[in-house]
Structures are given as C-alpha cells and as structure tokens.
Amino acid sequence: MVTYSSVWVMLMYLVLTVALSILVNHNRGSSDDFSTGGRQFGGVTAGVSILATYVSAMTFIGMPGWVYQAGMQAMAVHLNYPFVIFCAVVFFVPVFYRLRLTSIYEYLELRFGVIARTINALVFLIVQCISAGVILYAISLILVRVLPISIEQAIIYLSLFTVAYTFFGGISTVIWTDMLQSVVLLIGSAALFGVLISDMSHISITPQLIEKFRVINLSSELDNDTSLLAGLVAVSFLHLSVYGTNQLIIQRTLATRDLKSARTAMMVCGYGSFFVYLFFSILGVLLFVFYQGESFDNSNNVILDFVFNHTNPIIIGLIISALTAAAMSTLDSTFNSMATVMTFDFYQRFIKQDATPHHYEKTARWLSLLAAICVIIPALLSISNESVLKTIASLTSLFVGIRLGSFLLGLFCRYANEQGVIWASVVSTIAIVLCRFTEMAWPWYAPIGTLVFLMVGIIISRYRGQLTAEQQAFVVHQATLWQRPRSGQYGLIIFGVLTLALCSYLPELVLMMWQH
C-alpha cells in the first residue's frame, strides 16, 4: 500500500540529488569539463559510476523477472564480464586514453576518415535513444503507481528532471550523483532482500526449486538464449561493444586522472558485475519461491507486485527511490554522452570548427536537453511483454557489428581503410536483420554482425581504397599506445574461471547450506 510516507522517502532522495548537483555545479569549467570533468577522478569513483550506469532499472526489474521465468540460467549471459573487461583494459582503454580523446569516435576519423566517425557516432545516438527510452519506460511503470499521473507524464517529467541537473553540472555531476544513486540502490536492494528472506524459514527444498539455481546450461542449440555457449561466446561480443567501444562507458575512463586510474575503473566493473547480477538473480529465485511459480502475463510485474502488495510503506519508498536512482544513473549518463557526441562529432566537426571552449560548453549543455527530448520518443513505444532486460539487449544487438567491428578493424588490421568500414557497415547490418527472421536467439546477432563486418571490411580494404599518408603514420603511432597486461589485470581471468566453477556447483552449494 502506497502512503504519504512512501512518497516522502522518494522526495528526500530527489532533494539530495538536487543538492549534490548544485554543490558539484559550483565549479563549472570548460566544455572539456562538461564531458570529462577535468580528467581528475579516481579509478574507484569512476568505476562505481560505470557500474551504476550499466546496472540500471533494467536490471532491478528485468533480471529478477527473467530469472523468475527461466531460472538462474538467465545469468549465463553475464558470466563473460571478467574476460570482456580484461580485453577492454588491455586493448581499448590505453589507446583512447593516451590519445586524450573527448569522444572515442574521434579515433575513427584519425584511423579511417570522417565517414567512419560519423557512421559510428550516429549509430551510438540511435542505440542510446532506444536503450534509455526503454529504461525510462521501466521506471515510469513504478511512478504511475505512486503519483496521480499517466505513464506518458511520468516519462516526460522524469526525463526533464534528470536532464536538469545534467545540464548544469556535466559529467562531474553525473559521476558524483552516480555515487549517491549507488548507495540508494544498495539500501533499497538490501531492504527488498531482507523482506523476502525473512519469510523463507518454512520453505522446503524441492527439485523444482533446486533447478532454479542451475546456472550452467550446456545446450548447443542456437535458439537457446540462456546457454553457457551463448553467454561465454555470443554475448561476449555484445558486452565488448558496450565496455570497449561505447562512449557512454568509456567517457568515465577518459575522466580519470591517469591511465592506471582508467584501467582501475574498468576493473571495478569487471569484478563487481558478477556479484550484482548474482544478487538480482537470487532475488528472482526468491520471488519464484514466494509466489510458488505463479504465472505472470508480464515478467516485469513480478517484482513490482511484490513491492506494492507485500511490503510496508517505508520499504515501498526505499524501493521506489532505489529504482528511480538506478534509472537516473543511466539516464544522466546517456544525456551527457549523447550531448558530447552531438557537440564534438557533429556540431564542432561540421558546423563550427573554430569556436571558443565556452561556446562548445554552452552548446553541449543545450544539446543535453535535445538528447532528453529524443529519449522520450522510444520510451513511449516501449510497452512490451518481454523482460525489459531482454528487450534492450535484442535491440542493441542490431548495430553491434558496426559498433565493435569498426574499432576491431582499426586496432588490428593495419591496411583496413574507410571503404572497408562503409561496405562492412551495410553488409553486417543486413546480416543481422536477416538473422531476426530465423529462430536464432538474440545473443548470436552480435558475433554474426561483428564477424561479417570484419570479413567484409578486410576483403574490401584489400582491393578498394587506400590509407592516406597521415593515416599510415597514425597506424604506426597507434602501435606505441598499447602496454603489456599488468599482473593485476590477469586477476580478472582467474576471477572469471572461479565464477564459472562457483556457478557449476551452485545448486549443490545451496542444498548443502539449506540443510545446515
């Protein structure tokens, strides 16, 4: 039951967010400060911001709902994080950071040309509009249960509120409010877990319940989206495009004080992601136990039904605040990164190349408002019976061939040129569209799109087009930007192997712990 106390808890969080944004905004700077915060953040701070950005309301609502339906096999798509982050830390982050980029798509112009840069920047804007729009819809599902407004009004109001503090504070406000939002998310999640676990003493272990804890599915069928094969192979391509070639994520590493801090930021995410998704997967199993497997028309409603019908007003307020914090953490990052790309990859590149830093700062702030308006459109189209998490993943897979393939081609193929990127972009997108007409599960769109992109890009580059003298010099310079992996970074590989071992024996471990 929602009461005034629930609303007051949520309002207290919103007031804290506004107060923090005002405090951070007290030190406004140049357009570089708006996009990279003066490059003065520590690795852990930036890492928590990355984790908070990607672990949004889509995880809070979508992951438990997906596990409620499919069991903890749904977690298989998240077992690749340590391996993916290792690749990002070794191959991508050093190049972007040492080039002192503001937008990572600047790299593509240095390596290939302006067309490759523009294609990828445009794809980024499209994908972020879709992803943020679905997230905005997800949190609006909750707000309409609390406030006397329609879902359309909730979408508009939340978007405008979030962009307001992003407008004034830039990436510095985004990162520091992410820290606050992480704390609120942690408190709300812990409260929800406590309520669920407090009523489990009378539950007996059944074979059906034990099966819900089974993570490892060795199926080799390509129509299975929760198999270990899909998780470790297919979804690795998708996650590498997110953590290695996505302005939304990489922008945090570019805001750190040095390369070591940039790598630390990514490693925080590499270690932390497993525990976050494990926690929300366990919530899904606990909800399955609580409802005794009751069927829901929309899996997104499972956690919402429990929160609003089986907890007290204070807990409702905490959960609402946690969900709002999770959504806002992703939305503010989206608005800032989209504004950065609009400003540097389009406005500065094509409209006004010789303006002052103050002019670009002002432009970036106003373009963050445009980004918010753009996100509202897909939010209104996001009503779906699928899990929100699966919806986002399937939509973003459409362009993963371009997003990941362009950078892989630039980093690892010395003779690759812009003609190869252009033709590969067209063919890989067509290949992924054709995949959607098959029974193939969505995780496989990413590797197919990427491998088709690389194959076409390499072949076309071999027989058409050539690099300019400047681009050839950049290829030589690029080779000096890498570093051999440090010993601490190999810990990600070890950690990844250990998490696989843990998941392999999770049902047996749960049974043993329950009996004792």
Phi, psi of 297 (to 5 degrees): -65, -35
Residue 468 CB contacts under 8 Å (≥ 6 apart), including other chains: none
Indicate whether 373 pLDDT > 80.
yes
Nearest to 69 by CA among 297, 409, 332: 297
| Residue-wise pLDDT tens digits, 395-444 | 666 788 999 999 999 999 999 999 999 999 999 999 998 998 898 988 89
Mean pLDDT of 231-254: 94
To the question of domain 4-194+206-220+248-385+501-515 being in CATH 1.10.3210.10, the answer is: no
| Residue-wise pLDDT tens digits, 474-500 | 999 999 998 788 878 999 999 999 999
pLDDT at 400 (0 to 100): 86
Cα–Cα dist 360/340, whole Å: 10
Nearest to 324 by CA among 457, 136, 175: 136
Cα–Cα dist 413/513, whole Å: 51
What DSSP letter does each residue of 150-212 carry, written as one string? Answer: -HHHHHHHHHHHHHHHHHHHHHHHHHHHHHHHHHHHHHHHHHHHHHHHTT-TTPPP-HHHHHH
Which pair of tokens denotes residue 447?
């590797």
Burial 105-140 (b: 16+ CB within 10 A, else e): bbbbbbbbbeebbbbbbbbbbbbbbbbbbbbbbbbb
| Residue-wise pLDDT tens digits, 138-196 | 788 778 888 888 888 999 999 999 998 888 888 888 898 888 888 888 888 889 899 88
Estimate the crossing angle of helix 114-146 against helix 357-379, to 10 degrees.
Answer: 60
| Residue-wise pLDDT tens digits, 265-318 | 999 999 999 999 999 999 998 898 888 888 887 777 888 889 888 888 888 888
| Residue-wise pLDDT tens digits, 261-277 | 999 999 999 999 999 99
Mean predicted lDDT score pLDDT of the chain: 88
**Bridge partner list, 187:** none
Domain boundaries, the chain: 4-194+206-220+248-385+501-515, 395-483
Percentage of the chain with pLDDT > 90?
50
Cβ neighbours of 484 (radius 10 Å) = 6
Which pair of tokens denotes residue 62?
């979508």
